[in-house]
Amino acid sequence: MNKCDIIEKFIAVVGKDNIKINEPMKNHTSFKVGGPADIFITPNDEIQIRDILRLCRENECPIFVMGNGTNLVVKDGGIRGVVLKIFDDFSKIYTEGSMITAEAGALLSVVSKEALRASLKGMEFASGIPGTVGGAIAMNAGAYNSEINDVIYSADVIDDDLNIRTLSKEELQMGYRTSIVSAKGYIAVRAKFALKIGEYDEIKARMDTLRERRKAKQPLNMPSAGSTFKRPKESFAPKLIEEAGLKGRSVGGAMVSTMHSGFIVNVGNATADDILKLIDIVEETVYKKFEISLEPEVKVIGEDL
């Protein structure tokens, strides 16, 4: 089957307006880098997601599923096959009592705002995390000594057999920046968060405090993917990077932030290759100095030019 035939089948599932051809991925990543995706699709519901997955399997078409692209480096050659972006069109949020249900494309920051509106506490830590609910479940996103595992009740996922299953908190098997969703390649489509009734003013004050802390310590005015490296068991990545003399080190338009050495930032027209070369330099330098291996927290996808 040729590419045009496949596209017509995709259009039949999601509509013509939800499909783009040769879409620049730099428009969909917080790093602002990345070559074109052959076919870029934005689904409206889990039925469309399953149908697209099924079509890709039947036609041996590669597929990559993403959220808001805030933890992603897309290589300069782009992505072959289909990119399925679960975001704005699949982002409803519902509140019932102390439980919030959010679709996978909802931003964590918006879920946190809904929790504040309902005077529910527990999501304050996530108010500044720019990713989606789906991505947060896959990697057990966290900040300020809290993580999704602390508030998750259950998640609906699409499994290997394209069935929608509800997994409990225990079944999600969340660990540091991992879960069964990422380990098995499942796709999260919805989550329930079990929060606690609190005082609106106290919740807002906590969110305000964390926002000011982020503004003071993180380079929020520059494109990045947040913390570039996972926390090693032996120490903290920013501390190791700074002590290795790498603060301000640059390759092309990519630089180790002078404000927070745990961040690599795009200071202007960086390529994915710049970022990946700088990641390699940081890993090699830190290992030579401390014999500690840093592991990237960002996901790298795509092809070189």
pLDDT at 181 over 80: yes
Radius of gyration over every alpha carbon of the chain, rounded to an integer in angstroms: 20
Are 164 and 136 spatial neighbours (Cβ–Cβ below 8 Å)? no
Are 53 and 158 spatial neighbours (Cβ–Cβ below 8 Å)? yes
Same domain for 42 and 97? no
- Is 186 part of any domain? yes
Same domain for 234 and 193? no
- Is 174 part of any domain? yes
pLDDT at 9 over 70: yes
- Is 210 part of any domain? no
Percent of the chain with pLDDT over 70: 99
Domain that residue 225 falls in:
219-301
Last residue of a domain, one of 169, 202, 235: 202
- Is 256 part of any domain? yes
Same domain for 68 and 162? no
- Is 103 part of any domain? yes
Domain CATH code at residue 161: 3.30.465.10
Domain CATH code at residue 10: 3.30.43.10
Same domain for 128 and 194? yes
pTM above 0.75, yes or no: yes
Same domain for 108 and 84? no
**pLDDT of the residue at 213:** 95
- Is 207 part of any domain? no
pLDDT at 1 over 60: no
Amino acid at 96: E
What is the number of residues in the chain? 305
8 contacts: CB under 8 Å, gap ≥ 6? none
Catalytic residues: 177, 227, 297
Same domain for 20 and 75? yes
Say how far residue 251 (Cα) sits from the centre of its chain: 24
Same domain for 228 and 291? yes
Q: What is the pLDDT of residues 60-72, one digit of tens each?
A: 999 999 999 999 9
Helical packing angle, 46-58 and 3-14, nearest 10°? 160
Same domain for 154 and 122? yes
Last residue of a domain, one of 139, 172, 202: 202
Closest CA to 108 of 138, 85, 140, 130: 130
CA distances for 94 relative to 133, 172, 190, 213, angstroms = 13, 21, 11, 29
3-state secondary structure of 111: helix
Same domain for 169 and 126? yes
Are 77 and 35 spatial neighbours (Cβ–Cβ below 8 Å)? yes
Q: What is the pLDDT of residues 213-253, one digit of tens each?
A: 999 999 999 999 999 999 999 899 999 999 999 999 999 99
> Which of the two residues, 1 and 265, has the higher pLDDT score?
265
Same domain for 125 and 146? yes
Token pair for 90: 């699949």
Domain CATH code at residue 262: 3.90.78.10
Token pair for 39: 């076919």
**pLDDT of the residue at 2:** 56
Same domain for 175 and 114? yes
Q: How many separate domains does the chain show?
A: 3
pLDDT at 81 over 70: yes
Same domain for 115 and 149? yes
- Is 275 part of any domain? yes
